Each structure stands twice: as C-alpha cells, then as structure tokens.
Structure 1
Amino acid sequence: MHTVAVLALDQVVASDLAAPVDIFGHSRLPDGRAAYRVRVCGMTPSVDTGAFLLVPPWGPAELAEADTIVVAGCADVTAPVPDAVVEALRSAAARGTRIASICSGAFILAAAGLLDGGRATTHWRAAAELAARYPAIDVDPDVLYVDNGAVLTSAGAAAGIDLCLHMIRRDYGSAVAADSARNAVVPLEREGGQAQFIVHDQPPAPRGCALEPVMRWMWDNCAAELTLDDIAAHAGMSTRTLNRHFREQTGTTPLQWLLRTRIRQAQQLLESTAHPIERIAGQVGFGSPTAFRDRFRRVVGTSPHSYRRAFRSGVAQT
C-alpha cells in the first residue's frame, strides 16, 4: 500500500496538516480498500501548533519509509528550518520519494534546496517573500499547484486539497480521484488559479515608490484611453525614462501595469454590481467585451462570468 507521511513541525498550520490526512486517509479503491496508509510524522515528540499541542504518532523513521511526503505549512515562514528536517528531505528526494508541500511548506522545501531551478508556488501572500529569499526558484503566484514530477507545491490549504486530488489521480486514475473529491464535497478540478483570490481593494502601487503618484492617477483614470505618451506627460518624464523606472520598480511596463489595474477594477465591479459584462468592459477601459474577456482570463485564470459566480456578494449594486 502507498504510504503518505505528513510532516508536522512547530507552528504547523492545522488546516494544512488536516487536508492531506483527510483526503488521502479517506481515499478508497474501487473494491473498497484503502488507497493509502497515512502517517502524521514529527521530528520531535511533540509539536506546538500555537492553538494546541500535537503528539505525532510517528517520527523520522516513517519518513524514510514513505512513498510520498507531504510537508504542511508553518505559520512563521522566517523561522529557520532544522538541519534534521533538511537532511531528511534531501535523503528522501535522493531515494526518489515524491515530496509535496502545502502553502508555506514550500519554504521548507526551498530550504532543503528541492525547488532550485524549478517552478513552484505558495500562498499568494507569501509568494514575493519566497521569490526574494530563494531567487533560484521560479515562483508562480497565480496557480493552485505546480507538479514538477517528484516535487510538487501548492498554494493555501484549499489548494492543498486540489494538489492531493491531483496526486490521487496520478496514482490511481480519475475515477478514484473523483470519488475522493465527492467524499470531501469538493470539485475534482477548480476553474482558475489563486490569482482570482488576491485582494485588490487598493490601487496596486508599491508604497513609497517614486511612481506611486502616477500609478494612483492611472488607477483613477484607467477607463480613459490612456497612451504611453499620456502617462509620461502626467509623470513629467520621457516615455523612455518612464519605461525604465517602471521596469525597475514594478518589473513590468506602464501599459502592462495599466491592463492589470483595469482587471483589478473589473474584479471589484463583478463582485459588487450586477452590471452586464459588456458594461464593465467599457467602465474599466476596454474597447470591446471580447478583448476584456480574453485579458481577464489571462490575468485571473477564469472567465468574468465564472469569477462573478464565485465571488459576487449577496447584495449587489445595480
């Protein structure tokens, strides 16, 4: 039987720990047999979760025997990773053990060097920190999970469920994975990525940066047909200088930043109003509904209609 070891360290996020235990633990094969043997493992006799004290039934020896190791996230991503954990994960990777992380567990995999040179994800709030601390990792903050074969990473706790179902489908096929999803009362596949969950209630301008005034002006005027020349004139710069400063301070161009600003405002309108998609497209500065839908899907990972269905408030403005 396939053994899944779920690693719990001090300050483990309880939901990150519970998701793989529940999903793998309740997965059944067509004949009713358990699909996995699940072991909650600790490197110490007890684990302080912050809310309660956890006494893991298994320890490092079970990590060495596992077919899959799932590393649950910890509340403090800046906490040093114990050498024993790094060594255990590196040894497991060298043996060919499949290793996955949930949410901030990616920082633990990163500390062990298991994500270097590859693509990975984590909770969107921590993605910039992961990228800054580990520049050898290609951090993608927009997806629910990343499968690199032997090493997998996921976003927040709910995305950890998506990742577990994905691994079940890899191991036993879609039928077993679909049954596990029904048992957990979740969809086998969710539409879109975690970009749709990112908070966007403020203009996306880095605080204190020299471009903040022009960024806020762009936010307030994004419905207008702004050109690069218009933006440069408002900023009091040449277009070349404006482009250079935007690259340095945001990693993108003024017009690409403007497009993302329009999408963020569209998300607000989709959540808070009953306006038709066509009207929203015009309100945020898109020349056609088709262009708006295409750009929205590229940025958010889902359609405007699906986004509204998932996030519209109970009482919307007309």
Structure 2
Amino acid sequence: MLLPAMAGLLQGGAATTHWRLSGFFHKHFPQIRLDTKRMVVESHGIVSAGAAMAQMDLMLYLIRKQIGRELADLVMSYLLIDTRTTQARYQVWEHLDVPDDETARSFEALIEASLPDILSVRQAARQLHMTEKTLARRLFKASGVTPMTLIHSVRMRHARRLLELDELTLDEVAQRVGYANATSLRKLTMRMAQVAPAAFRSSATGTRSRG
C-alpha cells in the first residue's frame, strides 16, 4: 500500500497492510484510516490486503466479489487455505508497532516489572522523569498508540505466553497479568486478538504436535 499512499490515492480513505507496518503508516499517512486487524479492505476503488499471504487473500476477495463465493470456496479447498478475515490473532505481541524507541522500551519495561500490580500512566511518567502528557506524546509518536494500549499489549504478551504453556488455569493466568478473573482476561484477548483465551492454548498444542 506504500505506492498508493505516497501518491495520495488513499487520502481520507481506509486501507490495511501488514500489522507490523502500522506504526510507520500512522506516522507518515495519518489521513488514512488504517485497519490492520482486517485482511482485506476496499476503499475509494482501491483494494488493499495485509499479512505475508496478502496476494492470496486479495485473489480470493476478487474472485468472491467478481464471480461468487462458491468458486472462491472451491479455490480455497484446492489450495488448502482456511478462511482468514483478521490479522489480529497472528500478531506478535513481543513488539507493538515501532518498539525501537527509548521511551517506549523504558515504559514497557516498567509495566512488565510491575506485573501483576500495574503502574498507572501517571506513576510511569513520574518514574521516567516526565509529565504524563509528554509521555503520551512520545509513545504515540513512536508507536502510533496510546499508553493504555501499550499497557494492554504488555499484558497480552504475558498472558499469551502463559496460555501457551498450558500450566495454569484461566483465573491464574488472569491474576498473573493483573486481572481479577478469567472473564476479564477474555475481554483482553477478545479486544486485542479477537479470540478467546483458549485459542492460544489450542494453537500452541497444534504447533507442538506438528513438531
């Protein structure tokens, strides 16, 4: 999507790209409504696709739109492709957007060290010797997201690791990342990855069995 974006063809429109590039897009093309949770987005007559298999998602979208779902499903079955409408569950939570920034790294380190008793943004700002407003501005410039989103990403990262280990109950995992119970944990994973906590356990089990 870089060329259409640089050419100004998506000004005021929507698009998607690989989730790892979202920070770059937010910084350089703020007028574009970027939605990296979706695999395919059509806006202003331009169709964009995200993820490493973007060409496959784009091909299936065009077949479905121009010819019909039946043929698209047949092509999927021949190519052994599953339906994928969102990138969210594939995102790597070790790094959100643009992590190569001193303020962002220091902020995430503070949050990680405070688990399960999460620091407030104000407390973190005080420890980093800056105002809350300055911290928020620097984090947004580096990552394109708010301090609370970064806090949620740290929690999500640790929750995912614990879930993949499959050694703790959902309530125990929730408590390890600063939540009261499994219901709160489910709200986190649904918001950040659009899947229930159990999906990370089943995904890790499948990977181990294939290995």
TM range (shorter): 0.7 to 0.9
Amino acid corresponding to residue 208 of structure 2 in structure 1: G
Does the 8 Å contact 2:19/2:91 carry over to 1?
Answer: yes
Amino acid corresponding to residue 159 of structure 2 in structure 1: A
Q: Could you tell me which residue of structure 1 aligns to residue 184 of structure 2? A: 291
Find 2:84's aligned residue among 190, 201, 219.
190
The answer as to 2:61 corresponding to 1:166 is yes
Q: Could you tell me which residue of structure 1 aligns to residue 40 of structure 2? A: 145
Does the 8 Å contact 2:23/2:98 carry over to 1?
Answer: no
Deviation of the 1:132 alpha carbon: 4.0
Deviation of the 1:202 alpha carbon: 5.8
Distance 1:211 1:180, change over 3 A: closer
Does the 8 Å contact 2:108/2:154 carry over to 1?
Answer: no
TM-score, normalised via structure 1 length:
0.55
SS in 2 for 1:267: helix
The answer as to 2:182 corresponding to 1:309 is no
Amino acid corresponding to residue 217 of structure 1 in structure 2: L
Single out whichever of 276-285 and 226-235 deviates more from structure 2: 226-235
Deviation of the 1:287 alpha carbon: 1.8
Mind listing any 5+ residue stretches in structure 1 that lack a counterpart? Answer: 1-105
Deviation of the 1:122 alpha carbon: 1.6
Structure holding more strand per residue = 1
Distance in 2 separating the partners of 1:237 and 1:132: 22
Find 1:275's aligned residue among 144, 160, 168.
168
Structure holding more helix per residue = 2
Q: Could you tell me which residue of structure 1 aligns to residue 20 of structure 2? A: 125
Distance in 1 separating the partners of 2:191 and 2:202: 18
The one of the two structures with greater contact order (alpha-carbon pairs below 8 A, sep at least 6) is: 2
Deviation of the 1:120 alpha carbon: 1.0
Mind listing any 5+ residue stretches in structure 2 that lack a counterpart? Answer: none
SS in 2 for 1:271: helix
SS in 2 for 1:152: strand
Give aligned-pair identity as a percent.
26
Distance 1:125 1:255, change over 3 A: closer
1:203-241: CA deviations, max 9, x gaps? Answer: 988334345334312122232143345434433455555
Does the 8 Å contact 1:222/1:261 carry over to 2?
Answer: no
